[in-house]
A = this chain, B = another copy of it.
Amino acid sequence: MAKKTAKPQGKEAATPAKPRRKRLSPEERRAQIVAAARSLFAAEGTDNVSMRKIAKRVGITQAAIYQHFENKEAIFFVIIEGFFSDLLAALEAASAKETEPLHRLRSAMRAYIEYGLSRPEEYRLVFMTPMSGLVRAGLAVPRTDEARQTPSKGSLAFDVLDRAVRDVALAGRTRFANTDLLAEAVWAAGHGIVSLLITHDQFPWADRAAIVDFQLDLVFRGLLHDNCPMRKQIAGLS
C-alpha cells in the first residue's frame, strides 16, 4: 500500500473494478501455492482438488501456477518432501526418548502410526498412491544402491526404523537374524493399521488407541526371544 506512483497505466485509462494484477516473487508464490494445495488436500482429499481450486485460493489463474511448477505432481512432490521431513523429525524425537533398544523401536513405531493417522491425506498420497517416479523420489532405493545421491528424507526416515530394528537384534532381544526382513515386517504391520484405519473409517473398528496398542503388543511379542525376560513386561492388554 501507499504506492501512489500514478503511472500512465497503458492506454484506455482505468477500466473500473479491474483487480490490479499483483506480482510476487517466485518464492512467495511457490509458498502460497504449496500452502493452499496442502490445506485443500487435507480438507477435501487429494483427488477433489484441482489446479483451478488451488489457483482460486491463492488468488491467481490456474495457468499462472505453471510458471512456478511444471505440473500437478511437482506440487505433490514439495508437499511430500515436507511430509517426510516432519516424519523424520517425529521418528527421531520418538527414538531419542528411549534408550533401551526394544522400547526405542516401540516408541518409533507408535510415532509412525500416530503421525500417519494425524495426516491421513498426505499419508495416502505418499504410501498408498501409485505415482510414476514420485514415491520413488521420496523413498525408494534406501539401502542397496551405492550411488549415495544425498539420501532423501524418506530414506532417512526408513533408516531410523532400520537402525532401531538392528539395535534390537544387536542387543540379542530377537531370534530373527535377518534385520532387513524384520524391519520390513514391522513397517508393514504399522502401515497396515494406518492404511486400514484411514481408508475404512466405516468399518466397526474397536477403539483406535486400543488397536494401536494391540498391534504393537502383537508384533513385539512376536519378535522377542522365547526366553527374553522382557516378555512379561509387554503390556499385552485386552
Contacts and interface: CB of A to CB of B under 8 A. Distances in A.
A233 interface: no
A200 to B, nearest CB: 6
A141 B202 contact: yes
A63 interface: no
Given A222-B219, A223-B218, A226-B231, A184 B199 contact: no
Contacts of A56: none
Nearest to A46: B130
A202 B136 CA distance: 7
Given A191-B195, A191-B196, A219-B222, A206 B177 contact: no
B181 A188 contact: no
A210 B129 CA distance: 24
B189 A188 contact: yes
Interface residues of A, number: 54
Contact of A199 (B45, B129, B185): B129
B135 A204 contact: no
Contacts of A215: 185, 188-189
A172 B215 CA distance: 20
Interface in A191-238: 191-193, 195-196, 199-200, 202-206, 210-211, 214-215, 217-223, 226, 231, 236, 238
B218 A128 contact: no
B130 A199 contact: yes
A144 interface: yes
A142 interface: yes
A184 to B, nearest CB: 6
Nearest to A210: B181
Interface string A99-143: 000000000000000000000000010011110000110011111
17 contacts: A128-B128, A128-B199, A141-B202, A143-B204, A176-B218, A176-B236, A178-B206, A181-B206, A184-B205, A184-B211, A188-B192, A188-B195, A188-B211, A189-B218, A190-B192, A191-B196, A222-B223
Interface of A: 45, 124, 127-130, 135-136, 139-144, 175-178, 180-182, 184-185, 187-193, 195-196, 199-200, 202-206, 210-211, 214-215, 217-223, 226, 231, 236, 238
